[in-house]
Amino acid sequence: MTASLDDIFARERRPLWGLCYRMTGSAADADELVQEAFARALERPPADTSRDLGPWLRTVALNLARDRLRRRRETHVGVFVPEPVADEELRSESASPEARVSLAESATWAFLLALEALGDKQRAVLVLRDVYDLSTRETAEALELGESHVKVLLHRARRALEDARPVRARPADLALVARFFTALAADDLDGMKALLREDVVFVSDGAGEVHAARRPVVGRDKVITFQRRTRPAVPPRFALATVNGAPALVYVQAPGVPAGTPPSGVIQLEVDDEGRIARILACVAPSKTSRFLDRHPVP
């Protein structure tokens, strides 16, 4: 049993991790949930151990992830932004060419934020069907639901997802990310205004750990005012990187910043068809940036 479980762990760990990450938006939670799922296989294995443990592990991981998602929604302080993940973690997953949503797209911040509009059961159905390309029967078995119920949940989830996704928004390229933060560092008001839409939205997630906007900041003038007011006196160290499949700015503050100031952050920009910034997403909670920065430190 131990040797075979080692083989199963090697085979199933990455798919289970990707599933838990898309369910929770948290890489740290995904790490824990995968370990917990395998711990249950050791402590309380299914009655029929002659069958493939993969589907059983998937059901266990899904139930754990749904519980974690519900608890997070009850306790999270402020607006939620997914935890940043390096692209190499996502590229290690195997993909189905028939999937409605690609693995790469389904791990972007934009997609994960749209999933926040779904209940935990709807989210699980959509991820299994449209990302991992499971059949209706396989999805029903994984969630212990009837097939007709799965079809209803999927229809509602797809409709809610379409309503929640930004219209004609796409990730900004690295050059635009650099231009915006150069203008911010130089306090170039005209430069910032030229890059932002009139109705730009700024979303920051401090998880109640550091100072951050508890609600989205809407409007060009308000966003610029907020950015200037929270800009540190000493410029942080920063690097441009690709995070969750999109360009991002990763920064670490200089020592001695005021208490409550985010010590680090990962920021992405989304632009409209005309190339103007439509949304700014910032993950600044230390508990959510530490895993990424430990693996990818800013020089």
Q: Encode pLDDT of 205-238 as tens digits.
A: 999 999 999 999 999 999 999 999 998 888 899 9
- Domain match, 184 and 221 both: yes
Cβ 202 vs Cβ 79: under 8 Å: no
- Domain match, 49 and 106 both: yes
Q: Which amino acid is at 161?
A: L
- Domain match, 112 and 257 both: no
What pLDDT shows up at residue 95? 64
- Domain match, 83 and 104 both: yes
3-state SS assignment for residue 199:
strand
Q: Look up the domain containing 151 and give its range.
A: 2-164
What pLDDT shows up at residue 94? 65
- Domain match, 104 and 120 both: yes
Tokens standing for 19?
């599933």
What pLDDT shows up at residue 6? 80
What pLDDT shows up at residue 49? 67
What pLDDT shows up at residue 3? 47
Tokens standing for 22?
């898309």
Q: Which residues pair with 85 in a beta bridge?
A: none
- Domain match, 154 and 204 both: no
- Domain match, 143 and 178 both: no
Of the three residues 138, 164, 190, the one that is the final residue of a domain is 164
- Percent helix, percent strand, percent coil in the chain, to nearest 5: 50, 15, 35
CB atoms within 10 A of CB 229: 7
CATH number of the structural domain spanning residue 16: 1.20.140.160
- Domain match, 257 and 114 both: no
**Residue corresponding to tokens 């754990």:** 64
Low-confidence ranges of the chain (pLDDT < 50): 1, 3
- Domain match, 266 and 119 both: no
Q: Per the structure, how many domains does the chain have?
A: 2
How far apart CA 153 and CA 146 sit, in angstroms, is 11
CATH number of the structural domain spanning residue 231: 3.10.450.50
Continuous segment of H or E residues that includes residue 140: helix 136-143
How far apart CA 299 and CA 205 sit, in angstroms, is 24
What pLDDT shows up at residue 183? 95
